[in-house]
A and B are shown apart, each in its own frame.
Chain A
Amino acid sequence: MTQSQASIQRFELARRIEHFVLLISFTTLGLTGLPQKYALSSISLAIVRLFGGIENLRMVHHVAAVIFLLEAIYHVVMLGYKLYVQRRQATMMPSIKDAVDAWQAFLYNLGLSRTHPKMGRYNFTEKAEYWAMLWGLLVMAATGFMLWNPIATTNIFSGEFIPAAKIAHGGEALLAVLAIILWHFYHVHLRRFNTSMFTGKMNRAAMHEEHGAELEEMDKGLIPPMPSAAEQRRRMTVFAPLAVILSLALLGGVYYFVNAEKTSIETLPPAAEQVPVYVPQTATPAPTAASTATAAAPAANPGGGADFTWEAGAKDLFKAQCGTCHAGKGAGGFSADSYDTVLKQIKPGDPDNSKIVTVQKAGGHPGQFSADELDKIINWIKAGAPQQ
């Protein structure tokens, strides 16, 4: 192994696990979030189907969000431990040197500067990512809370915060995902496949290029040592209670985040149409005109015999039994409306040769005199069919 290949321990296991948790939750959030922002694209639909529908997709998104928040809490507490108990240097703090480094690296790339900047434990590309991640976390957590708990939010803020939060949540998500692809993927996958976040180790050549200043400090033994075990224990007695309180407070915040409110009913809403569907105007649908008066019952029969004339009895009988069809022009050219038209169908004095009698005696006519009624008509014809 040449000197330049010699490995230097860069990330302890806990950092690598943190990165892995972040990688999984961030990817899941992006994968389940962007299809909600661009819901109608065919790719989004395919992803929604893959997750078994939008409700499952949202649930996975929420679970990933909670994991992301828990990781953030762990990170904050861990940072406190490193900075206070172990008195480590705050190597992630941005400084003027980072801006100078970035500018110098840019000029170097263009061939306008001969020297590449020598950078510390975290160089400007990494700091940009870390602080962008922190900014993103704050924006996404705040707007995510508003979208998850719109009623709790609007109890304090105006309603407009919700659509504004939705735009910020989507915009920030898009920025984060694209920045990861453009910045992170380029610097640690394309430019040089940097495996240190998985192996924990980095070789000297890479250290020299990316963390030259740190390498020099290491080589010169300038990294300050950690406090003594006794000092660390003393500091721990201060830190531990604070860490517990902070952790509980933040965990309580996450619990509130998830359970602040029941935004909407979970049952189906009341039916949109409240009135009953079937309310017929008539008892049953009636396709033809409504029936009018029922067939008139035969008028009072003044009795047979000599006083049975057209006007007194026969007219009513004809109207009742024949008038349905034989009215007006009359079916078959026969109208039973008037004495004159009836007279054309009978032969006064000769019932056997009167058409009305022969048709009625044959039976089966739609309008049929009863036997009693027919007798009266026959007797009336026999009597000469008197009108009065």
Chain B
Amino acid sequence: MTLWKKVSLIGAAALVALVLLGVWMAYPQPQAVKANGQVNAPAHAPLPVQQPQAAKPDNSVCLGCHQNAGQVLKLPNGDFMSITVDTTAFAASAHGQKNLQCVDCHTDITGFPHPALPATVQSARDYTLKYQDTCKKCHADQTSAVADSVHAKAFASGNHNAPTCADCHNPHTQKTWTIKDGQLTDATQRAQVAQICAQCHSAIFNEYKDSVHGMDVMGQKNTDAPTCTSCHGVHNIANPTTAAFRLASPQMCGNCHTNASIMDKYGLSTAVYSTYVADFHGTTITLFDKTSPEHETNKPVCYDCHGVHNIVSVKDPKRGIEVKNNMLQVCQRCHPSASSNFPASWMSHYIPDPQRTPLVYYVQLFYNIFIPTVLGGMGIFVVSDIFGKFRNRGKGNTPAAPTNPESKEK
């Protein structure tokens, strides 16, 4: 064997090993997806093993031009699109931190002159969509989660305004999210989430920002309160107008509102879920959820009374439903002929007590005593009767046997 053959064999072996390593690392690892849809996995798969890329320009070449402010690309439909990259923001971004190269995503651009835009790109939106499939090279878990989402369904149905990755995560500026147990933990980042959603859902954002939750998250930078993704999930955002979402929603609210370690801080009751489930509305909703989760129903869930995005404190004088007249208006949405006595038929999540609801409390107390007393009395007699039967049998007697069955007629 010549020296040349040895060298080429070793080289080939090394190449095969490198490819196998690359395949193993790129293979999607099993990962936990939390119930609320938050992906509990690293944001990216390991970067592909870099092959020497002599032909591809590095970032300094691209940024040589693209760092200059005010650069725009005019698209065939007349849209102007900024093609300036803010180098400071990019350097601080998740991609910049990982030293990603422009050409890792912009694979079609390898030098000057840039290739002509494909005919499919007529607008700035088309340009964004051109890169739709780029993210999954590194973010396979997230892109497959998105595939089940209401956004992906809207897109598939032909609505090209439905967001793709880059609409929420600007690839040039998106910083690494701080995630623990599937939840964003950084108060500043939590406060940013709603701003991202607001790009398309600004009317809902306006409701949310003045709600108890929104003011806490964005104003107080309170990490206990929910941001958009806390309830809707992150990538696999489900359609919130379906019957299934509605039926399952009390549990969603209950996730936090039964957690004493959060609620105690704000003096909020953790019995709200159990008291809801125990009453007519909650019982029906829970039964539907368990027996026919696709069932459309007009029975109310938490947000029908408390508000959806514009939830206020129940003590709020204008809309808070602890105020009786506000509650009556809420009741009348489904019970149009309800009178002013009617709201009290719902015990406002309170457990019966002798001060607030004496009638309910004492009726319950009555049955708590009455039922065991009656059954106990019956039980004692039945036991005595069984005892009597055995006692008499033991003696060979037939209890109370007719001694003289003769009747006058016979």
By size class, the interface of chain B is 35 or more
Given contacts A48-B291, A183-B378, A366-B112, contact A292 B204 (CB under 8 A): no
Contact A164–B360 (Cβ < 8 Å): yes
Across-interface contacts of B352 in A (CB, < 8 A):
163, 167
Determine which of A105, A178, A269 lies in contact with B333 in the assembled complex, contact meaning CB atoms within 8 Å: A269
Cα A302 to Cα B300 in complex, Å, equals 75
In the bound complex, how far is the Cα of B201 from the Cα of A364, in angstroms? 44
| Total inter-chain residue pairs, C-beta < 8 Å | 271
Contact (Cβ within 8 A) A4 B199 = no
**Complex interface bits, B362-374 against A, C-beta within 8 A gives 1, otherwise 0:** 0110110011001
- Selected contact of B199 from candidates A108, A205, A281, CB within 8 Å: A281
Interchain CB contact (< 8 A) of A182 among B204, B303, B366, B378 = B378
Query: A158-B341, A277-B204 given as contacts; is B286 within 8 A of A40 (CB)?
Result: yes
Q: Once the chains bind, are A54 and B198 in contact (CB under 8 Å)?
A: no
Q: Are B367 and A109 in contact (CB under 8 A)?
A: no
Residue in B337, B375, B400 with the greatest tally of chain A CB atoms within 10 Å: B400
Which residues on B sit within 8 Å (CB–CB) of A289? 82, 84, 86
Residues 373-410 of B contacting A (Cβ, < 8 Å)? 374-375, 378-379, 381-382, 384-385, 387-389, 391, 399-402, 405-410
Asked if B344 contacts A167 (CB within 8 A), the reply is no
> Once the chains bind, are B283 and A161 in contact (CB under 8 Å)?
no
0/1 interface trace, chain A 289-309, chain B, CB 8 Å (1 if under): 111111100000000000000
Expressed in whole angstroms, the Cα–Cα distance for A36 and B408 within the complex equals 57
Contact check: which of A163, A290, A323, A330 meets B347 at CB < 8 Å?
A163
Establish whether residues A161 and B381, one from each chain, have CB atoms under 8 Å apart when the complex forms. no
Question: A101 to chain B: closest CB distance in Å?
Answer: 12
Shortest Cβ gap from A292 to chain B (Å): 5
Contact in complex: B82, A209 (CB < 8 Å): no
Among A155, A172, A186, point to the contact of B341 (Cβ < 8 A): A155
A284 at interface (Cβ–Cβ under 8 A)? yes
Chain A contacts of B378 at CB under 8 A? 179, 182-183
Chain A residues near B (Cβ < 8 Å): 3-4, 36, 39-40, 45, 48-49, 53-54, 102, 105-106, 108-111, 116, 132, 150-151, 154-155, 157-164, 166-168, 171-172, 174-175, 178-179, 182-183, 186, 191, 204-205, 208-209, 212, 218-221, 261-273, 275-282, 284-295, 323-325, 327-332, 364-366
B residues apposed to A, CB below 8 Å: 61, 64-65, 68-72, 74, 80-84, 86, 112-114, 123-125, 128, 161, 163, 166-167, 170-172, 198-204, 206-207, 241, 277, 279-280, 283-284, 286-288, 290-292, 295-298, 300, 303-304, 307-309, 333-339, 341-347, 352, 357-360, 363-364, 366-367, 370-371, 374-375, 378-379, 381-382, 384-385, 387-389, 391, 399-402, 405-410
